[in-house]
């Protein structure tokens, strides 16, 4: 009799705790195939349209990857980076680090195609996450599962982007603290920095390392002198404001491990890239990726992108589904 009572008690406890166990399994409410019933063609449409845009203009692939990063690090992956400023609010989009973002029109075009098929269903935040993956895959990079079910934020403040995005001038202590503040690990920092294997930078983002590192018209001694010379050629003072350079020289269109061999040779473009050599964990990661045969970068990247895609997500009844990504309903 006592045994039966114990079993009934244990069973009731199990039933009571089930929702919590389930919640944990479904980290923060994101799931695989969130739109399978509500908009079955959503993921396919995003993929097809992204592939078309990227085939037409491959330089958008890195920009679309960066868009997702800049979204997630500020107020979480809630599409707040897509919102336009209004007469009484300066939005994230118009903050200094975001002035070099590109690809907003691609997200808007995909959103409007989805609105025609399934009005008010697919969030801009999910579109940004899916497009980042599909764009990287489209140029021959890795793929990874993108969980969906994010909802869109209702606030976007330029000041948040200034305080929450990591700056290219950051040292390793600042970078680790910045990543930790959004729940990402030191390994995520080493892996996601590898996103710089593709794309371009404006000379203004690192010019201080070339021309005025300590205020004495000097260059950063941690940057390889040959690379300083090359970058000075590509970024002459006369056209500093308008020039752009490849971030992973010789391989900036290919998603590969080349970034890590460049960084290992003290040729990382930003202070933040070079900083990976100044911590034992990140240094070990850089060194381990130097040989493409034994590199784990491509699979690590997918895992770290999944971690990044969960930052501060709004799910369930939080947030909203915007009608247009650039405008808060
Ligand atoms: C670790 C901290 C990071 C810093 C300080 C940083 C900084 C920068 C800067 C300054 C640029 C050049 C912007 C310009 O002048 O046009 C850039 C470009 C880029 N970043 Fe990062 N970044 C970081 C992490 C990441 C992460 C986590 C990703 C993606 C996973 C990423 C992906 C990219 C890509 C793809 C570009 C090239 C964009 C294009 O070609 O349009 N970055 N980053």
Compute the distance between CA of residue 226 and CA of residue 231 in angstroms, rounded to an integer.
9
Q: Where are the beta strands (DSSP E) in the chain?
A: 200-202, 244-246
Residues sharing a CB contact under 8 Å with residue 259, sequence separation 6 or more, in sequence order: 193, 194, 196, 197, 247, 248, 251, 273
State whether 84 and 190 are in the same domain: no
State whether 160 and 185 are in the same domain: no
| In-domain check, residue 37 | no
Domain boundary among 164, 193, 228: 164
Q: What is the mean pLDDT of residues 313-327?
A: 98
Q: What is the mean pLDDT of residues 192-219?
A: 97
State whether 146 and 48 are in the same domain: yes
State whether 238 and 144 are in the same domain: no
Exposed/middle/buried for residue 81 (C-beta within 10 Å: 0-12, 13-18, 19+): buried
Judged against a pLDDT cut of 50, whether residue 209 lies above it is answered with: yes
State whether 120 and 178 are in the same domain: no
Give me ligand 1 centre to Cα 108, in Å.
22
State whether 122 and 229 are in the same domain: no
- Given pLDDT bands bounded at 50, 70 and 90, which one contains residue 290? confident
Report yes or no: 83 and 156 within 8 Å, Cβ to Cβ.
yes
To the nearest 10 degrees (0 to 180), the angle between helices 60-72 and 124-138 is 140
CATH of the domain at 234: 1.10.420.10
Q: What are phi and psi of 168, to 5 degrees?
A: -65, -15
Compute the distance between CA of residue 181 and CA of residue 173 in angstroms, rounded to an integer.
12
State whether 51 and 110 are in the same domain: yes
State whether 153 and 58 are in the same domain: yes
The pLDDT value given to residue 5: 56
- Given pLDDT bands bounded at 50, 70 and 90, which one contains residue 1? very low
Query: Ligand 1 atom 29: the closest Cα is on which residue?
Result: 195
Q: Is 199 in the pocket of ligand 1 (CB under 6 A)?
A: yes
Domain coverage including residue 272: 172-308
| In-domain check, residue 15 | no
- Give tens-digit pLDDT for 234-246: 999 999 999 999 9
State whether 190 and 304 are in the same domain: yes
Domain boundary among 138, 164, 190: 164
- Using the structure block, give the residue that is written with the tokens 């063609």: 41
Task: Report the nearest atom of ligand 1 relative to the CA of 247.
Answer: 37
Of 15-19, 104-108, 287-291, the poorest mean pLDDT is in 15-19
| In-domain check, residue 7 | no
State whether 156 and 192 are in the same domain: no
Q: Is 66 in the pocket of ligand 1 (CB under 6 A)?
A: yes
Judged against a pLDDT cut of 80, whether residue 16 lies above it is answered with: no
| In-domain check, residue 16 | no
Judged against a pLDDT cut of 60, whether residue 123 lies above it is answered with: yes
Element (H, E) at 289: helix 280-289
- Give tens-digit pLDDT for 257-278: 999 999 999 999 999 999 999 9
pLDDT averaged over every residue in the chain? 93
Using only the alpha carbons of the chain, give its radius of gyration: 22
Task: Report the nearest atom of ligand 1 relative to the CA of 60.
Answer: 41
Q: Is 193 in the pocket of ligand 1 (CB under 6 A)?
A: yes
Report yes or no: 191 and 307 within 8 Å, Cβ to Cβ.
no
- The domain tally of the chain equals 2
Task: Report the nearest atom of ligand 1 relative to the CA of 200.
Answer: 40
Say what percent of the chain tops pLDDT 70.
Answer: 92
| In-domain check, residue 313 | no
Judged against a pLDDT cut of 50, whether residue 120 lies above it is answered with: yes
The pLDDT value given to residue 293: 86
Residues sharing a CB contact under 8 Å with residue 81, sequence separation 6 or more, in sequence order: 67, 70, 71, 74, 92, 93, 98, 101, 128, 156, 161
* Selection from 287, 281, 277 nearest residue 171 by Cα: 277
Enumerate the active-site residues.
70
Q: What DSSP string describes 157-169?
A: -HHHHHHHSPPTT
Compute the distance between CA of residue 252 and CA of residue 259 in angstroms, rounded to an integer.
9
| In-domain check, residue 26 | no
Tokens of 321: 């589904």
| In-domain check, residue 31 | no
Q: What is the mean pLDDT of residues 50-57?
A: 98
Query: Ligand 1 atom 17: the closest Cα is on which residue?
Result: 201
| In-domain check, residue 128 | yes
Give me ligand 1 centre to Cα 120, in Å.
31
CATH of the domain at 85: 1.10.520.10
- Give tens-digit pLDDT for 131-176: 999 999 999 999 999 999 999 999 999 999 999 999 999 999 999 9
State whether 79 and 179 are in the same domain: no
Domain boundary among 147, 164, 181: 164
State whether 235 and 143 are in the same domain: no
Q: Is 65 in the pocket of ligand 1 (CB under 6 A)?
A: yes
Compute the distance between CA of residue 262 and CA of residue 130 in angstroms, rounded to an integer.
29
Element (H, E) at 304: helix 297-308
Per the model's pLDDT, the better-predicted residue between 16 and 301 turns out to be 301
């Amino acid at each position: 009799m006592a045994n039966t009572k114990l079993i009934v008690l244990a069973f009731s406890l199990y039933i009571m705790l089930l929702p919590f166990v389930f919640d944990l399994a479904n980290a923060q409410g994101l799931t695989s195939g969130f739109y399978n019933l509500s908009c079955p063609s959503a993921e396919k449409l995003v993929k097809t349209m992204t592939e078309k845009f990227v085939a037409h203009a491959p330089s958008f692939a890195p920009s679309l990857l960066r868009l997702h990063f800049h979204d997630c690090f500020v107020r979480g992956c809630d599409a707040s980076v897509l919102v336009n400023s209004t007469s009484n609010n300066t939005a994230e989009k118009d903050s200094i680090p975001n002035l070099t973002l590109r690809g907003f029109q691609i997200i808007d075009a995909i959103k409007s195609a989805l609105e025609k098929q399934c009005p008010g269903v697919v969030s801009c935040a999910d579109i940004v996450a899916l497009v980042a993956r599909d764009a990287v895959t489209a140029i021959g990079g890795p793929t990874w599962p993108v969980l969906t079910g994010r909802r869109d934020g209702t606030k976007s403040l330029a000041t948040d982007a200034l305080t929450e995005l990591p700056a290219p001038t950051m040292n390793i202590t600042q970078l680790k603290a910045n990543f930790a503040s959004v729940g990402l690990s030191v390994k995520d920092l080493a892996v996601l920095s590898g996103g710089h294997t593709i794309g371009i930078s404006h000379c203004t983002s690192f010019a201080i390392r070339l021309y005025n590192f300590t205020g004495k018209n000097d260059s950063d001694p941690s940057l390889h002198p040959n690379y300083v010379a090359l970058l000075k050629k590509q970024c002459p003072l006369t056209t500093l404001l308008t020039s752009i350079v490849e971030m992973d020289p010789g391989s900036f269109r290919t998603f590969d491990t080349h970034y890590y061999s460049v960084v290992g040779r003290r040729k990382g473009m930003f202070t933040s890239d070079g900083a990976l050599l100044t911590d034992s964990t990140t240094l070990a990661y850089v060194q381990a990726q130097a040989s493409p045969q034994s590199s784990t970068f491509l699979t690590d990247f997918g895992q770290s992108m999944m971690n990044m895609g969960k930052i501060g997500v709004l799910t369930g009844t939080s947030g909203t589904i915007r009608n247009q990504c650039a405008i808060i309903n």
